[in-house]
Structure 1
């Protein structure tokens, strides 16, 4: 039963509204003046307030101001026998949902209540969906790297600084971008995502900036671009490292001037957008070989974030696995499943080259394909058994079952150097600088390990 609070100094009005509303199935509360009404709003949290404007003590406008300051989402319908347009406008600006003139009409009162309740329901649904979405994009983990990342997000989110997120594929860069948006002052504005790697070069300008009707073959109507759609919100440019130099130049111009023209148009459109970019590439290396603009890099890299790979936060694997397990059991309407301690141990020993995305996909597969309630070692994919490792080892190193410490160290060094050389495009000078080793010493190591340099 919905609760409606009636704040009016006239007893006859309160009594008549009580009879009408109770006949319609509402529970009614009453206050004779503004002070009492404001106090009842705090105590009872009614679904709707019917508030008279002219009352002794504080008037309805002041009561409305106090109600909105303590309960910003409270639905309030104003009532007045001496209403003016100026008063109605003032009440609306303060957050009143509607304004009804006295003498009260039964039809108008019920229509105003009905409309207000519909809006209240939509607001509640919106709040519920946002809470559900926030939970879906929650960052799971209590490891040192993740706690540090959460702290950085909490500090950076309320600001307007542009963000550059780096990290391997599948680490959760989009998750970080959404967390920044949700904790920012733009949280109620759009979050627009663009995957720069998935859009063909000939279409990316239209996708980002929009186009006018007739701008090119197939442009049968005007279209707003992603920058336009994210006005006052957040634009997430994923895989920014795959954007062409031509498009990079245009994006840089927008970031500098905060205005652009649609493809085929000449009207300048100004935008207020917070840009968050992400990449799995080493942009400094891309700059060195001429694939990425240095000025765009420094424009975006105001607030740098790095998302650690899953192998560097193995203590989070169990929490992530259980989170995905509960999520997919609910999504697929399956019985609640559990992962045995032996199977969980196998999951924590696996290096996860595909990071969190790979873990999520495997848990979804296990939920769907495992007939038993308990997921055991036998249910795990063969790849997990074949690549088990100590969580402190670097990925891809399969240590000898037998051998000395010297042999194990050589195996580790060889794999480490291969990974670093590949990361820096097999450039010995850059690799030596990155790992803080003399170039001549690196040459000797490469020769002693028999590492074949790739071109």
Structure 2
């Protein structure tokens, strides 16, 4: 049965909509403001979100933008008591599925929900809600992307805990979603807990009941995949209890965690328990930064255009060169934002240099050769040490250096 999250600051609206929607076969949930709605969406995926625009302190347009950050493929129907063309236009630009002006007739609401339901089914049949985002990041023929694709396929077949690492913006959440979609648990929803966006009390409640037993969120993940995003943000005081939870549920739940930091460095700094690390890092998957995949950029741009309604666009030679040369501090997130902006303002079917922001031509922030090579050396030493399972003597032999230099 599909589910609908209703967001309105008037509980009378909740009751009215619930009376109409439940009898036609939908589960309903409610939120009285945007922050509560986002909290619910981080804990559980809903098939459709039905939200008012005129709310405080976060209005519906701000909520819509935040929902799209959590799930770019979310289906959101907007409601407003004012026939405002600017609001309607802005909502559709931000990715709203439909826009209803109050008071609307029941058949108008039913029509919008039915169409949204059909769209939801199409997206589920096509794969994970984030599958196109991950597909964009996996476009290209480089050895790096081939290895990454093979790792995703291999990890989808496993049931053991997986730790996904990578810099911010490397689409770790989309990769986790793709792994779940390719697994034998894909018939059940991916349950996500984002440690970055919850305070300590809310994060504890996401994992545990008041008596310390697994929470309803954890229980709902049985037979499915639990994705703990930004696991490095879990408070140190909670990590031992979380380690025990992972130990107890891993037979029933596939656990995937992600981190934007090198957890071994965080352990060395005394901010992460090694016991929890070894529980969640049975297998690891490192997502390369975009700057290490410059040869894939033209193919990734083409995939983005094709998957986002811009199939008529292509890259000009100079624009392609600029995109390949840029260092991409924001990785794939920044890449897609720049392409989306260029696509929306392009005056002809070819993206030219003038369609791209000036920062792509600013090389003042690029590292020196020495700094770049040192950074690469540190990464390689770490990779070798991981491959040698922490044996510094063995790693030093591979690296041809003294163990103290590993």
TM range (shorter): 0.5 to 0.7
1:124 and 1:376 map into 2 onto residues whose CA distance is 34
Q: Structure 1, residues 20-41: CA drift from partner, whole Å, max 9, x if none? A: xxxxxxxxxxxxxxxxxxxxxx
Pick closer, same or farther for the CA change 1:372–1:249 going to 2, 3 Å.
Answer: same
- 1:346–1:384 contact (8 Å) kept in structure 2: yes
Cα deviation digits, residues 51-71 of structure 1 (max 9, x gap) = xxxxxxxxxxxxxxxxxxxxx
CA contact (8 A) 2:133 2:174 kept: no
State the 1:355 CA deviation.
1.1
- Report SS of the residue matched to 2:271: coil
Structure 1, unpaired ranges of 5+:
1-121, 216-222, 260-270, 389-394, 398-410, 425-429, 443-455
Q: Are residue 129 (structure 1) and residue 124 (structure 2) matched?
A: yes
1:396 corresponds to 2:372: no
The corresponding residue for 2:326 is 350
Go from structure 1 to structure 2 and tell me whether the alpha carbon gap of 1:274 and 1:346 turns closer, same or farther (over 3 Å shift). same
Residue 310 of structure 1 is matched in structure 2 by 290
**CA distances 1:284-322 after superposition (whole Å, capped 9, x unpaired):** 111112111101111111111111111111121111111
Deviation at 1:178, TM superposition (A): 1.5
Is the contact between residue 211 and residue 225 of structure 1 (CA under 8 Å) also seen in structure 2? Answer: no
Please give the alpha-carbon distance, in whole angstroms, between the structure 2 residues aligned to 1:197 and 1:130.
Answer: 30
- Following TM superposition, by how much is the alpha carbon of 1:438 offset from its aligned partner in structure 2, in angstroms? 6.6
Is residue 2:212 matched to residue 1:230? Answer: no
The answer as to whether partners of 2:206 and 2:217 remain within 8 angstroms in 1 is: yes
| Counterpart residue number, 2:261 | 281
**Is 1:192 aligned to residue 183 of structure 2?**
no
Are positions 1:329 and 2:326 aligned together?
Answer: no
Aligned position for 1:378: 354
Shift of 1:347: 0.7
Whether the 8 Å contact between 1:329 and 1:337 is mirrored in structure 2 is no
Separation in 1 of the partners of 2:405 and 2:242?
Answer: 43
Give the deviation of 1:440 after TM superposition: 11
**TM (normalized to structure 1)?**
0.53
Q: Tell me by how many angstroms 1:124 deviates.
A: 10
Query: What aligned pairs does 1:139-288 form with structure 2 within 5 A after superposition?
Result: 139-210=138-209, 225-258=216-249, 272-288=252-268
Residue 136 to residue 416, structure 1, CA distance change in 2 (3 Å): closer
8 Å CA contact 2:225–2:253 kept in 1: the answer is yes
**Count of residues in correspondence between the two structures:** 274
Q: CA deviation at 1:379?
A: 1.6
SS of residue paired to 2:256: strand
Superposition deviation, residue 228 in structure 1: 2.2
Structure 2 counterpart of 1:367, from 343, 347, 361: 343
Name the SS of the counterpart of 2:257 in structure 1: strand
1:416-431 aligned within 5 A: 416-417=373-374
**How many angstroms apart in 1 are the aligned matches of 2:217 and 2:344?**
36
What TM-score results when the alignment is normalised by the length of structure 2?
A: 0.59
Change (3 A) 1:136 1:356: closer
Flag the structure with larger Rg: 1
Find the residue that maps to 1:192 and give its secondary structure. strand
Matched-pair contact (CA < 8 Å) for 1:165–1:276:
yes
Q: Say whether the 8 Å CA contact 1:193–1:237 is kept in structure 2.
A: yes
Question: How much does 1:436 deviate?
Answer: 7.3
Q: Secondary structure at the match of 1:329?
A: coil
Mapped pair 1:295 → 2:275: yes
Q: State the superposition RMSD in angstroms.
A: 3.7
Unpaired runs of 5+ residues, structure 2, are: 1-116, 382-391
The answer to whether the 8 A contact 1:209-1:228 is kept is no
Preserved contact between residue 206 and residue 225 of structure 1 (Cα < 8 Å): no
Following TM superposition, by how much is the alpha carbon of 1:336 offset from its aligned partner in structure 2, in angstroms? 3.0
1:232 & 1:187 partners in 2: Cα distance?
10
Q: In structure 2, do the counterparts of structure 1 residues 414 and 275 end up closer, same or farther at CA, with 3 Å as the change threshold? A: closer
Q: Which has the higher mean CA deviation after the structures are superposed, 248-257 or 122-131?
A: 122-131
